[in-house]
Amino acid sequence: MASAPLPLEAAPIAFGTDGWRGILGVDITVERLLTVAAAAAAELAYAAPEHLGSREVVIGYDRRFLAPELAEAICSAVRGVNLEPVLAASPTPTPASSWAVVERAALGALVITASHNPPEWLGLKIKGPFGGSVEGDFTGRVETRLAAGGVSVPIPPASPGGEPRFDALGAYLSGLRSKVDTAALAKGLQRLGLTVIVDPMHGSAAGVLPALLGERAVAGGAIREIRSQRDPLFGGNPPEPLAPYLAELIAAVQASTATGRPAVGIVFDGDGDRIAAIDERGRFCSTQLLMPLFIDHLARARGLPGTVIKTVSGSDLMQLVAEGLGRPVLEKPVGFKYIAAEMLAGEVLVGGEESGGVGFGMHLPERDAPFAALLLIEALVEGGVPLGERLDALQQAHGGAASYDRLDLRLADMAARQRLEARLAEAPPVDVAGMPVLEVNRTDGVKLRLGASHWLMLRFSGTEPLLRLYSEAPSAERVAAVLDWARDFALAA
């Protein structure tokens, strides 16, 4: 199927849930990026806590086309508002920039990345002094600055020798080693005869886990990477940790297991803030399955304190495992910003969303996929069995197996969306695919409860005529039936 044509006119500059993104060369140009970076840096200085005397703004970037060059370019925008840019020496995972902000007590960070978006995209994420993404009111003020004329920053000629740089990746690796005993993990993998196969999807988290676990783990076969070289086209797919894009990783895991050495696959998105896994049988494991494992490991094995935060689209298994360990659970709308707000406000054990973002109260109020990967390996070493066996045991201990899937449905136009929204508001379905609706939850969109670990959720995306359909059910066949019913229902509205 032919790709949709790229837009020829730039969209207005507007921040989404985690930054400003668009098509490189159309929405994202040097001139626009300099203006946005200057306005963002100025707002970081204006909004800084009174006790923070720093003038530093960390500049990070991923492996996308022109990302390193544009990161260097926006340093002039930061200097243009009388602040000091601190540029990473190499592409790094986005959470490495957040770590640098906290470690250096900087004003914040500007990160050139488009995360998991397709290869032709680029963008800018803004991190606050607390080491996480700024909230909507902050980006709203940046947009106000831009509407008022922004900050005029001339494009300077290239300076001999370029911008001074710092080892952001080395500082990040040291920080992770201070929180997890990586040497013990490497020994544990060798003892279990378990191989970790890492797929960074050509993104900026490449090399991180092998560096953390060490050369002996690599030489001994405990860890290896695939698709680790830089490829700004990401092999032709978006660098998003979803099963359709992971055929090579699934095949590698299954091949290793077939030889008698069980493997676990760990995959990161393009800028290293989302995670998913492949179990030893080749099953795709999103955070719907990984979050319950994190809850069990951190609360039971590590004995760490705190509340569990899940989004309304999260699996019931998260709540069942948490309650089984006596932990309170807060359910929030979809979006990591809601989880981060709770992490800043109180004591949180772990918080996660179904799209792969996980944060930990013992770390940053930020999605950090490499840190999550270390805790995943730690949980497997502690449990002494491969991932699939561990997850099966968790499910059986808390109500039995369940399946999950999501379908993104593009409606005909905004009028069709408005009709469906009105119908859901006035008269939501009383039965779904032959089963009565027991409860209607409107925390975010409309979630229709059909039974234990059995539900359908309908949620619109932004301002587009795009509907996201989520379902959990006792079997994959039932999930498919519910999603088929929901698609027909939505298209008939």
The CATH number given to whatever domain includes residue 348 is: 3.40.120.10
What is the three-class DSSP state of 309? strand
Residue in 280, 276, 332, 322 with CA at minimum distance from that of residue 297: 322
Q: What gap in Å lies between CA 21 and CA 18, rounded to an integer?
A: 9
Contact 77, 56 (CB under 8 A): no
Same domain, 274 and 255: yes
Print the domain residue range for 229: 179-397
Would residue 1 count as lying in a domain?
no
Question: Got the DSSP string for 270-298?
Answer: TTS--EEEE-TTS-EE-HHHHHHHHHHII
Residue in 126, 148, 159 with CA at minimum distance from that of residue 57: 126
Same domain, 159 and 193: no
| Max Cα distance, the chain (Å) | 70
Same domain, 168 and 195: no
Same domain, 272 and 387: yes
Same domain, 232 and 203: yes
| Residue 469: predicted pLDDT | 97
Residue in 458, 453, 449 with CA at minimum distance from that of residue 486: 458
Would residue 12 count as lying in a domain?
no
Would residue 15 count as lying in a domain?
no
Would residue 346 count as lying in a domain?
yes
Residue in 134, 116, 89, 133 with CA at minimum distance from that of residue 202: 116
pLDDT at 154 over 70: no
At 212, list the tokens.
């953390």
Same domain, 244 and 160: no
Same domain, 152 and 217: no
Q: Which domain-ending residue is among 369, 397, 425?
A: 397
Find the helix packing angle between 287-296 and 369-383, rounded to 10°: 60
Same domain, 150 and 248: no
- Mean of the pLDDT values across residues 305-334? 96
| Residue 152: predicted pLDDT | 65
What total number of domains does the chain contain? 3
Write out pLDDT tens, residues 55-104: 999 999 999 999 999 999 999 999 999 999 999 999 999 999 999 999 99
Would residue 66 count as lying in a domain?
yes
Write out pLDDT tens, residues 79-88: 999 999 999 9
Mean pLDDT, rounded, of the chain: 94
pLDDT at 464 over 80: no
| Residue 153: predicted pLDDT | 61
- Mean of the pLDDT values across residues 323-348? 94
Residue in 333, 17, 58, 22 with CA at minimum distance from that of residue 171: 58
Same domain, 392 and 408: no
- Mean of the pLDDT values across residues 198-221? 97
Same domain, 334 and 250: yes
Would residue 13 count as lying in a domain?
no
What's the pLDDT band for 170 if we cut at 50, 70, 90? very high
User: What CATH number did the domain enclosing 435 receive?
Assistant: 3.30.310.50
- Mean of the pLDDT values across residues 466-473? 95
Q: Which domain-ending residue is among 332, 367, 397?
A: 397
Same domain, 237 and 125: no
| Residue 18: predicted pLDDT | 81
| Residue 157: predicted pLDDT | 54
Q: Which domain-ending residue is among 372, 397, 422?
A: 397
Q: What gap in Å lies between CA 57 and CA 108, rounded to an integer?
A: 5
At 416, list the tokens.
């069709």
Q: What gap in Å lies between CA 461 and CA 337, rounded to an integer?
A: 16
Question: Of how many residues is the chain composed?
Answer: 493
Would residue 9 count as lying in a domain?
no
| Residue 355: predicted pLDDT | 85
pLDDT at 283 over 90: yes
Write out pLDDT tens, residues 217-276: 999 999 999 999 999 999 999 999 999 999 999 999 999 999 999 999 999 999 999 999
Write out pLDDT tens, residues 341-359: 999 999 999 999 988 899 9
| Residue 493: predicted pLDDT | 81
Write out pLDDT tens, residues 443-462: 999 999 999 999 999 999 87
Would residue 474 count as lying in a domain?
yes
Residue bearing the bigger pLDDT, 19 or 279: 279
What's the pLDDT band for 1 if we cut at 50, 70, 90? very low
Same domain, 122 and 151: yes
At 387, list the tokens.
């991932």
Specify which residues 88 forms β-bridges with. 166
Classify each residue of 86-120 as buried b or exposed e, where b means 16 or more C-beta atoms within 10 Å of its C-beta. bbbebbbbbbbbbbbbbebebbbbbbbbbbbbbbb
pLDDT at 2 over 80: no
| pTM: predicted TM-score of the whole model, two decimal places | 0.94
Residue 394: CB atoms within 10 Å = 19
What's the pLDDT band for 281 if we cut at 50, 70, 90? very high
